[in-house]
Structure 1
Amino acid sequence: MSSIRDRVKQLVPTQVTNRVKDSLVDYAVRTSDRRPLPDFLIIGTKRGGTTSLWNYLIQHPLVPRLFPAWNTKASHYFEENWHRGEAWYRSHFPTERQRAALESRHGGPARVGEAAPLYMFHPLAAQRVAALMPSVRLIVLLRDPVERAYSHWNERRTHGIEPLDFADALAAEEERTAGERERLIAEPEYFSEPYDWYTYRARGRYLEHLEPWLDRFDRARILFLPSEALYRDARLTYRRTLDFLGLPPYNLPNFKVYNDRRSAPLAPALRTELTAYYRPYNDALRQRLGLNLDWPERAA
């Protein structure tokens, strides 16, 4: 059975819906001075459960969706859309009046945010966020980097973006992304698709990407969540997240897994190589954060 949204798409010409969207966006930008900045950001990691956690949060009555709500979880302001400016960024969030109405209706504080896994990895995002929102709360999901890399590749492959098999993609990563990080720093309005798409190995060196955030934000403002804990007990992880954000408890009917992708098992030789590669990085991460990350130290 088709949804109301699908039926509207069938009945209303695309030109009309585009004009409506453009009108809403224009209105949101014009009222940006009445739209407070977000309270929280989910900054990573890609293929670590960010879509699931985001969808659990927006089911809470005090966590509104982004506006205009085009089925998205992020504005991508701090990496891809920096050139659009603060008014454009604010346009994605509810007005003070809309926040107050939510709080009056549900008897608690509204919490507004977005989920953009590239934020953690982008070399300029931490300083941009800290300059604009020094009091924002940050949520970081960290997944076993071996599984994360393979899942990242599988997603790119499924989308038709990745022509290489996993072993060849890992071998080609350095050449494909050479100079991209440096160019992102040198050209603040540049956006790099290769840096987003093909950084399978690099993204799993978590600590080097987290250090700019740890340097700029008090540790009490950062919640680190092992992705495996989310997969194992989503209800408990959801409760921890609500507590961190200062939201009242809320029971969800279920914890559906979003954006899940099944794939063939990772080849043992590649698993062994990647597990050994990440071991020193994982050890440094555990020591720096004081977290119990139960990722395999040796391939099974």
Structure 2
Amino acid sequence: MQSHLILDWKGEKIKSMVFNNKVKYTAVPLEADDTPTKKTLCSHCSPYLTKKNISAFVIILILSTAFFLVACIGGNFQSKVCSDNNSMHLISKPQNKYHMQKNLKIAHSRRRLPHCIIIGVRKGGTRALLQYLKIHPDVQVAPDEIHFFDSNENYSKGIDWYRRRMPQSFDEQITIEKSPNYFVDWNTPSRVKMMNASIKLLLIVKDPFYRAVSDYVQIRENRLEKDMEMEEFEDLAIDPISGNVRINYKAINRSLYYIHTKRWLKFFPLEQIHIVDGDNLVLRPFEEMEKVETFLGLRHYLSDDHFVFDRKKGFYCIHRENGAHKCLNRTKGRPHPKIDPDVMNQLNDFFEPYNQQFYELVGKTFKWPKAVGKRSLKRKH
């Protein structure tokens, strides 16, 4: 019998013994200085805790976390696991996914050219109209007046410059921009048409006389803040020598809605222009906004519950879900100076034929003062 000491494929020592030309193998116990060639992760770890198993566990954890976040953002589990009461506080509970991510650059949102533009009129209620539209979850509004089409400097920067000033929006949303001077600018209609011939336009108008006074008050306040003098409204609106209305005075000219609307209709059909009653928007905002929603093809979302009348300010404010009210800033609703009654009557007489032409042009009437008799005034100094 012969005995040989060899290593098996696992590195263990075995003794081979030959009996009658047959080999029999017997394991040999490890000696003190012998160590296995294949090391485990640790002496006290589970045999299942291998690198392969740990990697699989990490991958599953990452995928589970990603699925959770996607579910929250998509709103499927929002009310259950992404609410305000959830201790993780990953995402606060919004009214819907649009409000949750409004004006944030996230997946599936991008900056788009406007689907609708509020073209004017200045001091007609454009800011209130934009703020009310902002409530709608399917609307994104540009935060500032961009003045792209009525400024040669801005227009020369190109359409991409204009697009970059738009908010982020989803495919289901529409983007709206407001620059009131567009209405009276001669270049704007053709430039807008070159960008998008099928764009929708919003024009908000109000009593021409009171709009002109509001225009004057805003300019006067700005000048007084700079310690600059300002003539009285009557002297600017009426020529003191001839007694005739100064048609080229900007505050007066902007109230000649017929002239400016007629120019816009050379480039766009009336079906693409919605006329908002600015006076009615002050008194019954929900009524006017419902018409705007219909014109823009939006679902009817706004209701009376979104508006609350502020007795101190004298106009409606936005009612928020937390019970707070959001009103227009302090520059809105400025008190008007007392205007000479004769000047007021003369201006109403002056505006009346333009108003009638405007009614016929747009197929809509407004409750504005009618003429009380042609007259002219010579201002005394």
Instruction: Work out whether the TM-score is over 0.5.
Output: yes
In structure 2, C-alpha distance between the alignment counterparts of 1:202 and 1:277, rounded to whole Å: 11
1:163 aligns with one of 213, 221, 230: 230
| TM norm structure 2 | 0.57
In structure 2, C-alpha distance between the alignment counterparts of 1:221 and 1:299, rounded to whole Å: 35
Quote the residue 1:262 is aligned against. Answer: 335
Q: Is the 8 A contact 1:271 1:299 kept in 2?
A: no
1:115-140 CA distances to partner (integer Å, 9 max, x unpaired)?
11110100111011011111110011
Q: Is the 8 A contact 1:127 1:212 kept in 2?
A: no
Q: Is the 8 A contact 2:130 2:141 kept in 1?
A: no
Task: Provide the identity percentage.
Answer: 28
Summarize the Cα distance change of 1:274–1:206 in structure 2 as closer, same or farther, 3 Å threshold. same
2:255 aligns with one of 187, 190, 204: 204
Quote the residue 1:125 is aligned against. Answer: 188
AA in 1 matched with 2:306: P
Quote the residue 1:57 is aligned against. Answer: 133
1:245 aligns with one of 266, 291, 296: 296
In structure 1, C-alpha distance between the alignment counterparts of 2:186 and 2:361, rounded to whole Å: 20
- The alpha-carbon deviation at position 210 of structure 1 amounts to 1.1
The count of residues paired between Structure 1 and Structure 2 equals: 230
Question: Gapped runs of 5+ residues in structure 1?
Answer: 1-27, 29-33, 101-108, 173-194
| TM norm structure 1 | 0.71
In structure 2, C-alpha distance between the alignment counterparts of 1:129 and 1:299, rounded to whole Å: 39
AA in 2 matched with 1:235: F
The reply to whether residue 75 of structure 1 matches residue 146 of structure 2 is yes
- The alpha-carbon deviation at position 38 of structure 1 amounts to 0.6
- The alpha-carbon deviation at position 250 of structure 1 amounts to 1.9
Which has more strand, going by share of residues?
2
1:49-93 CA distances to partner (integer Å, 9 max, x unpaired)?
110010011121221232xx4xx2x21111122222211101122
AA in 2 matched with 1:203: R
- The alpha-carbon deviation at position 253 of structure 1 amounts to 2.5
**Local SS of the residue matching 1:201:** helix
**Local SS of the residue matching 1:204:** coil
In structure 2, C-alpha distance between the alignment counterparts of 1:63 and 1:87, rounded to whole Å: 21
Note the 1:84-163 alignment, pairs <5 A: 84-94=157-167, 98-100=169-171, 109-160=172-223, 163=230
Cα RMSD for the two superposed structures: 2.3
Question: Gapped runs of 5+ residues in structure 2?
Answer: 1-104, 240-247, 308-315, 318-326, 374-381
AA in 2 matched with 1:167: E
1:206-257 CA distances to partner (integer Å, 9 max, x unpaired)?
1111112111112211101121121221111111111111111223532426
The reply to whether residue 282 of structure 1 matches residue 358 of structure 2 is no
AA in 1 matched with 2:274: L
1:38 aligns with one of 114, 122, 125: 114
**Local SS of the residue matching 1:51:** helix
**Local SS of the residue matching 1:212:** helix
More contact order relative to length (CA 8 Å, sep ≥ 6): 1
**Larger deviation, residues 163-172 vs 148-157:** 163-172
AA in 2 matched with 1:91: R
